[in-house]
Structure 1
Amino acid sequence: MKFGSLLAGEKEEQLENEKTIEKKLHEAAINGEIPILLQLIQENPQILTSKFSSIPNNPLHTAVLLGHLDFTKELLNRNLQMANSLNSHGSSALHLASAKGNLGIVKYLLLINPDICSVLDRDGRNPLHLAAIKGRVAVLGELLRSKPEVARELTGRGETCLHLCVKYNRFEALKVLVAFMKKDDQFVNWKDSDGNTILHVAVAKKQIENLQVINYLLANTRVEIGARNANGWTALDVLMQSPGDTRDLEIKQCLLHRSVSRSEQHTPFLPFDTELPENDTTRKQPKNHKHTDWLGRKRNALMIVASLLATVAFQAGLSPPGGVWQGDYEGIPNGTKAQKPHEAGQSIMAYTLPPAYNQYMIFNTIAFLASLSIILLQVSGLPLRRRRWMWTQMVTIWIAITAQTITYFITFINMTPDHVTDTVNYVIKVYVLGWLSLMGIVFIGNISRAMLYVLRKYGYVKEKERREPLVYVEEEENDEL
């Protein structure tokens, strides 16, 4: 029993000594203190071959994380195998140095063993992937020079280093990789586990930097604009399916313009009088692009205006001029009943100016419901892609704007004190006259276009023949409805 206890005690003491040495070595690595490292090695020559179970990173990983190049060299000179060791996250020293951008350490580690570039951590990423994520341009160049084939390795999600650059907005790193892999169209068009190319990822993010990325990819690579992901969506479909954004139109125009430009490179220019076969869609395709783009812009504009009008009308309905009563009132305490009792939350204007309040609420309700009608039509999913449907929605929004304007003038008139009514009346006459003139011009213009469309449709008026080039060019919108 005594002998067994003695052995157990010696083992515990040995473990404590190892932990103490590991702690001292870890502290030396944190501070980059080479003399302490040499002293510890002299005390225990086998210290660098231990497993360092008490800390997540061994001394090499710690020194690399903190950028101690000389300390790193001293460790590796004593034990080259440490370069292949992995920490608790499955990362090698090269993973850590690449992520931190420590170029000197990266170069030294690559001299010892370039094959470490292909080691994947627990997230399925190699050192090149981490350098791409962090945007370490200099490190990327060094890794590509040392081990070019590592650029084609994929992450656990099937992503290339190009996917990671786009995903994490590393534009400069992306340019380095595109220049290196420019002639490899298969790599540029590689799809991740969701079937997304780098163009899908760039369009989905819709950040300011990504508009620059999209332009760069379309101008400098052969990325396929029409490639479809696992959902069967192209990059343009991804844009249209995502929530609306102020950059949607810019990205859409960029994709359409580049798509047509590429098709032009493969489309021979023919004289205007050359007849095309019936199955040739060279002429029709660009026109359809223009038509779709025009309707898309109109729909987006109508949706934005309708949303703003609905918000203003809703707020005006909840907060009428003069506000609402803050308490109930049925009469004075002696029992005399009030002539006009009221309850908290009711409109003050409804009691003081009933006719004006009625007008105010009627026109405000018209503006609110007309705006909601536009929003409902836009999100209903109905096939409202014809010009006549767009014209109907434009008339509806015209009604909403007019009703909102009348609501404003009713409020303006009834909120103005009597001693400034002359000035107010003059201002109202001028602006109302100007507004009515503008509305009249818009109304006459739309009626004229509608009549012209009907006359052309039934053959009473012939449309002028126009020659269109076979290649797509940007032109003015058609005057037809």
Structure 2
Amino acid sequence: MNEESESKLEWWTRVIKNVGNWLAHKDKVKWLKDMRGLLCVVATVIATMTFQSAMNPPGGVWPPGGVRPPMPIAREKIKQSQCGQVVCPGQSVLAVVLEDEYELFLIWNTTCFVSSLAVCLLLVSGFPLNHRFFTWLLSIGMCITISSLTLTYLSVVDMTSPGDLWVENFFIFRIVLYIWISLLGLVAFVHSLRIFIWIVTLWIDRRNKKP
């Protein structure tokens, strides 16, 4: 029984190491150098975009002065807002008119902004990028950043598109979203498999070193 269990363990060890070698980068030093530069640029650009989206929200803001909104529903909602005025200067128009949709936009935009800043922080913090765990952490951070950016875009399109146009073309956005979720799941699976194989390989090596 011991010989059989040892042979099975050796077989699984070979399989795990072969999969790990297949998923490993051939020129890891060059890949890490290129990835660091690209991630820094991409994360900085995304952080700038999301910051501008918060400062200049879709639909604009109410200007100062006695400008009255054209829609009766907008006038009624603004009267019931926390400002207690007919017009709240500097307040987002869509935050008052479309509260639920704008709340989703804020959630995804904030998630994208914070995750992109987290990626920038990891890149400049001095952590060893050749360590498998930090590489995995950066990859997952970028997956969260790009996914929340995608959802931010969909939220903006939902708020700014006419209702009939959005309903007629919603199936296109649904298909694109499903494709994106599938691609994201594949990338997350590959990176999770890498970190899992790395942990198992460490455990196997330590086990083999024991007398």
Alpha-carbon distance between aligned partners in 2 of 1:321 and 1:435, rounded to the nearest angstrom: 24
For residues 126-141 of structure 1, what are the structure 2 equivalents within 5 Å?
none
Name the structure 2 match of 1:393: 138
In the other structure, the counterpart of 2:199 is 454
Give the CA deviation at 1:294.
2.2
Partners of 1:422 and 1:339 lie apart in 2 by 29
1:310 to 32, 44, 47: 47
**Pairing 1:71-220 to 2, within 5 Å after superposition:** none
The aligned residue for residue 295 of structure 1 is 32
Give distance in 2, aligned partners of 1:447 and 1:426.
31
Alignment check: 8 A CA contact 2:113 2:145 kept: yes
Quick check: 1:329–1:343 contact (8 Å CA) kept in 2? no
**Equivalent residue number for residue 326 of structure 1:** 63
Cα RMSD, aligned residues only? 2.4
Q: Do the aligned partners of 1:323 and 1:348 also contact (CA within 8 Å) in 2?
A: yes
1:348 aligns with 2:85: no
Larger Cα Rg: Structure 1 or Structure 2?
1
Amino acid at match of 2:200: L
Q: Structure 2: how far apart are the matches of 1:329 and 1:347?
A: 16
Structure 1 unmatched ranges of 5 or more: 1-289, 332-336, 461-481
- The CA distance in 1 between the partners of 2:96 and 2:166, in whole Å, is 22
**Equivalent residues in 2 for 1:360-439 (5 A)?**
360-439=105-184
The reply on whether 1:445 has 2:182 as its aligned counterpart is no
Q: Post-superposition, which runs of at least 4 consecutive aligned residues in structure 1 deviate over 4 A?
A: 328-331
Separation in structure 1 between the aligned mates of residue 141 and residue 151 of structure 2, nearest angstrom: 16
**Aligned partners of 2:94 and 2:102 also within 8 Å:** yes
Tell me if structure 2 keeps the 8 A contact 1:370–1:400: yes
Secondary structure of 1:306's partner? helix
Q: TM-score normalised to the size of structure 2?
A: 0.71
Conserved 8 A contact 2:60-2:92: yes
Conserved 8 A contact 1:302-1:394: no
Q: Percent identity?
A: 30
Shift of 1:330: 10
Name the amino acid aligned to 2:41. Answer: I
d(CA) in 2 for partners of 1:372, 1:421: 32
Deviation at 1:297, TM superposition (A): 1.3
Q: CA shift at 1:369, angstroms?
A: 1.0
TM-score (norm 1): 0.33
Which secondary structure does the structure 1 equivalent of 2:60 belong to? coil
CA contact (8 A) 2:32 2:129 kept: no
- What is the one-letter code of the residue matched to 1:298? M
Equivalent position SS for 2:169 = helix
The structure whose RCO (Cα within 8 Å, separation 6+) is larger is: 2
Shift, 1:329, TM fit? 5.6
Pick closer, same or farther for the CA change 1:325–1:451 going to 2, 3 Å: same
Contact 2:115–2:145 (Cα < 8 Å) also in 1:
yes
Normalized per residue, the structure richer in helix is: 2
Q: Deviations over 1:292-321 (max 9, x none)?
A: 322111111111111111111111111211
